């Protein structure tokens, strides 16, 4: 790329209020070139406001914002050539076909991608001649992505890109985003799907009440790598589980007790969803006491369906 800054995005002390309501409050954010960052947070946490300030749509009240080295509030000529945006809501342009839209939007960019490649990349080849109004929700979203990546942006914003996708479409979308990231595109993504963040992001930022509560790789965020682990097994057909910070020791004990293979053994770190809910203050994961005694602690009990650390309970 032509320009090299140490970061693609640099935000310091960002603040934005709507009347009495503070949407973004002293938010700091750094995104490196080529990085994929996912922003998670409850509705109203300030994700979209933050992203729309970075995209140049909204004005900030105070703070420092640099996006590809420019202030999005006063973009220099050529800045928008390097940015791709997929907005949270997409509509309009109903009467035009996929082909017509992709070919038209190309005209805006100095170095656009090949329209056929883009249409193929988002998997809309069979819908080339379909008008936008006849596309399904997921197909429409893929058209939005096609228009967003058309200018081969250095930085791509995706605001809840896969809402309304079926699981297969989501998988396809993930591989598309991964291939863009492999090609060096910096990506900032907001999402409500924690599996999506885990799948795509180099780092995850959790936003609540307008600032970033935690930011780290999906494996480490919120101390996930050091967190207690749930070990599950079957004893005489009865499910048992234990929460421990020393899973290897427990599994060794179990192996000794069963004399080899432990029936129904599983060892699970807290999911990103567990960590997320704990961080935003809705801890539904039981038995996560942080006993750091030298011997570690093992809290063993028969598994009770209603009590277990199941995902269903947190949804």
Partner 1 sequence: MSRTTASAHERSTATPSPDRTKPSTLRIAVARTILETRIYFRERDSVVFSFLFPVVLLGLFATVFGGGETVFGEATGGGVDFARYFLPGMVAAGIMLVSFQTLAIGIAVERDEGTLKRLRGTPMPPAAYFLGKVGMVLLTGLAQVALLLAVAAVAFDVPLPGDAGSWLRFAWVYLLGTAAGTVLGLAYSSVPSSARSASAVVLAPVLILQFISGVFFVFNDLPSWLQNVASVFPLKWLAQGMRSVFLPDRLEPMEVSGSWQLAPTALILSVWLVAGLLLCARTFRWGRKGDS
3-state secondary structure of 28: strand
Q: Would you say 5 or 248 has its CB closer to partner 1? A: 5
311 CB neighbour count, 10 Å cutoff:
11
Which residues, other chains included, contact 195 with Cβ-Cβ below 8 Å and sequence gap of 6+? Answer: 272
Q: How far is the CB of 301 from partner 1 (least distance, A)?
A: 45
Least Å distance, CB 130 to partner 1, is: 13
Closest CA to 50 of 20, 29, 68: 29
The residue among 151 and 309 lying less far from partner 1, judged by its C-beta, is 151
Is 59 or 301 the residue whose CB approaches partner 1 more closely?
A: 59
Closest to partner 1 by CB, 32 vs 235, is 32
How many C-beta neighbours within 10 Å does residue 274 have? 23
Least separation in angstroms between CB 6 and partner 1: 5
- 301 forms beta bridges with 241
239 is written with which tokens? 């499910």
> Residue 4 has which token pair?
């090299």
By beta-carbon proximity to partner 1, the closer residue of 210 and 309 is: 210
8-state DSSP, 218: T
Pairwise CA distance, residues 54 & 78, whole Å: 16
Q: What's the closest the beta carbon of residue 137 comes to partner 1, in angstroms?
A: 15
Q: Which is nearer to partner 1, 30 or 299 (CB)?
A: 30
Please report how close the Cβ of residue 2 comes to partner 1 at its closest, in angstroms: 6
Angle (CA) 54 45 164, round 5°: 85
With H, G, I as helix, E, B as strand and everything else as coil, classify residue 22.
strand
Beta carbons of 148 and 84 less than 8 angstroms apart? yes
Q: Output the smallest distance, CB 66 to partner 1, in A.
A: 6
Residue 30 or 253: which CB sits closer to partner 1?
A: 30
At closest approach, how far in Å is the CB of 68 from partner 1? 7
Whether the Cβ atoms of residue 40 and residue 204 lie closer than 8 Å to each other: yes
Tell me if 36 sits within 8 A of 189, measured CB to CB.
Answer: yes
Alpha carbon distance 304, 295 (integer Å)? 26
Tokens of 27: 């938010």
Report the interface residues with partner 1, using CB under 8 A: 2-7, 10, 12, 18, 30, 55-59, 66, 68-70, 76, 78-83, 85, 87, 89-93, 95-96, 100, 104-105, 107-111, 147, 151
Which CB, 100 or 172, lies closer to partner 1? 100
Rounded (to 5) percent helix, strand, coil in the chain: 30, 25, 45
Q: Considering the complex, what minimum distance in angstroms separates the CB of residue 262 from partner 1? A: 47
């Amino acid at each position: 790329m032509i320009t090299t800054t140490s970061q693609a995005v640099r935000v310091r002390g960002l603040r934005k209020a709507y009347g009495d309501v503070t949407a973004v409050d002293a938010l700091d954010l750094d995104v490196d070139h080529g990085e994929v960052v996912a922003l998670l947070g409850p509705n109203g946490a300030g994700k979209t406001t933050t992203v729309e300030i970075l995209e140049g749509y909204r004005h900030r009240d105070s703070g420092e914002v640099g996006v590809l080295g420019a202030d999005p509030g006063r973009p220099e000529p050529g800045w928008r050539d390097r940015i791709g945006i997929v907005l949270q809501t997409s509509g309009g342009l109903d009467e035009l076909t996929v082909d017509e839209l992709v070919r038209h939007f190309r005209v805006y960019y100095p170095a656009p991608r090949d329209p056929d490649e883009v249409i193929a990349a988002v998997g809309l080849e069979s819908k080339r001649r379909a008008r936008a109004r006849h596309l399904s929700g997921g197909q429409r979203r893929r058209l939005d992505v096609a228009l967003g990546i058309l200018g081969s942006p250095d930085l791509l914003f995706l605001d809840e890109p896969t809402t309304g996708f079926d699981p297969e479409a989501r998988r396809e979308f993930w591989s598309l985003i991964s291939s863009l990231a492999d090609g060096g595109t910096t990506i900032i993504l907001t999402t409500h799907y924690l599996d999506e963040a885990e799948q795509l992001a180099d780092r995850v930022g959790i936003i609540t009440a307008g600032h970033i509560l935690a930011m780290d790789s999906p494996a480490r965020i919120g101390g996930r790598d050091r967190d207690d682990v749930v070990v599950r097994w079957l004893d005489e057909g009865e499910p048992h589980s234990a929460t421990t910070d020393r899973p290897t020791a427990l599994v060794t004990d179990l192996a000794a007790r069963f004399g080899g293979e432990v029936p129904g053994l599983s060892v699970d770190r807290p999911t990103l969803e567990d960590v997320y809910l704990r961080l935003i203050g809705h801890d539904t994961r039981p038995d996560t006491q942080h006993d750091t005694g030298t011997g570690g602690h093992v809290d063993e009990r028969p598994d009770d369906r209603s009590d277990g650390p199941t995902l269903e309970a947190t949804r």
